[in-house]
Amino acid sequence: MLLSFAVVFTLAACGGGGGDSGGSATTAAGSQAGVSGASSPSTASESGASSTALPAIAPSGSVFYGMNGHVNLAGPYTKSTPEQQLAQLKDLNVTLYRNDVSNVEGAQKLSSIAQMMAKSGVTVYPVILQQLNFPDENAAYQASYTLAQQIVNVQHYAYYEVTNELAPTCLVGWVDGATSTDYKNDCFQIARGVIRGLIAGIKSVDPVGKIIIGGNTWTHLGLDVMLANGTQPDGTSGHPVVAWDITAWHWYSEQGDITHACGTLCYNVIGTLQSFGKPIWINEVGMRPDFPGTPDQAGTFMANSMMGALLAIAPQYNIQSLQVYELYDDPPTGQGPYGIMLNDGVTKKPTYAAVKNFIATNPR
């Protein structure tokens, strides 16, 4: 999940296995010299597409409904076999399965599961996680470039998400996160280096895979805006512009209306996302464990006020996918019971039936 400066708004259950996928907030000393940030890695010409990489995992049909999982984590994902997870996904009629990966071992496990699920029409895609504990943007770029190459050389995918909820790590405190001044300059530069490095590393091995910009949540819009504009928190411009193919975002049960979400000020969050000119995936749609209602009421809220509300505005804002967070509750040592099933990997909560019925009633 994330660093919680305001739990009610930002403790997003992050499908990348930890919304604070950047680790502890970085306080790297100094800012980068010059306007270009990090240089391209000297190793860029050394790695083309791997001759041993498996064929790309790609969808054969709709990608509108999906699910989040954590197959590289312990707990319920070791109790439940990949085949059992596939059966549950098929029962729900979801066709995307979003999972986090941060090293070669995890990439190998995910590849095996992805190959198996692809045969039954469920497309796995990875969220590549990276820490922010680098001294500067160039170091972040170099390390992330290498990490992405290592992961993509194991398996090619139709989609790659780069990072997960980095914005809260770089916020200056209890702020909306909608403007550049809400962010720490040195932390943002390192986050930009990580994102740029991951994208470049992916493209050096798989130039056709689509890039999903790592999902953030609530009103934390400023990070993506700065990436797209080549600006940064210190007010300067002319920095590297980050390009991506799909804009991801996360929305949870306490966050209200995505067209009018209010913190200190109110924002049309989905309108800002649409302004990037890319398809939008709400790739974490979830219920908070502290939802003030019964389990049955939580299921009704998920269907009507979450999935239903987002589906209603999907054509207007080019929302092309809704992905539920998450398949199983975390174990007691994890981030909370966010799942639509208990952490035994077997017992269905009322939200499971609500999601299944919603998809059946609203096919896409």
pLDDT, position 220: 98
Helix (H, G, I), strand (E, B) or coil at 148: helix
pTM listed for this prediction: 0.88
pLDDT, position 78: 92
Tell me the residue type at 316: Q
CA 150 – CA 104 distance, rounded (Å): 6
CA 274 – CA 297 distance, rounded (Å): 31
Tokens of 124: 């796995």
Q: What is the pLDDT of residues 37-65, one digit of tens each?
A: 334 443 333 334 444 567 899 998 999 99
pLDDT, position 209: 97
CA 198 – CA 56 distance, rounded (Å): 18
Q: How far is CA 96 from CA 39, 86, 116, 223, in A?
A: 35, 11, 13, 26
Q: What is the pLDDT of residues 228-247, one digit of tens each?
A: 999 999 999 999 999 999 99
CA 283 – CA 19 distance, rounded (Å): 13
DSSP state of 164: S
Name the residue with tokens 């464990």: 289
pLDDT, position 52: 59
Give the chain's residues under pLDDT 50: 1-51
CA 1 – CA 10 distance, rounded (Å): 9
Q: How far is CA 133 from CA 53, 172, 180, 208, 299, in A?
A: 30, 17, 21, 30, 39
CA 345 – CA 364 distance, rounded (Å): 27
What b/e string do you get for 245-264 counting C-beta neighbours within 10 Å, with b at 16 or more? ebbbbbbbbebbebeebebe
Cβ atoms within 10 Å of 296's Cβ, excluding its own = 13
Architecture in CATH of 47-361? Alpha-Beta Barrel (3.20)
Helix (H, G, I), strand (E, B) or coil at 74: coil
Residue 352 near residue 341 (C-beta atoms within 8 A): yes
pLDDT, position 276: 98
Name the residue with tokens 């091995």: 205
DSSP state of 72: T
Domain boundaries, the chain: 47-361
pLDDT, position 340: 98
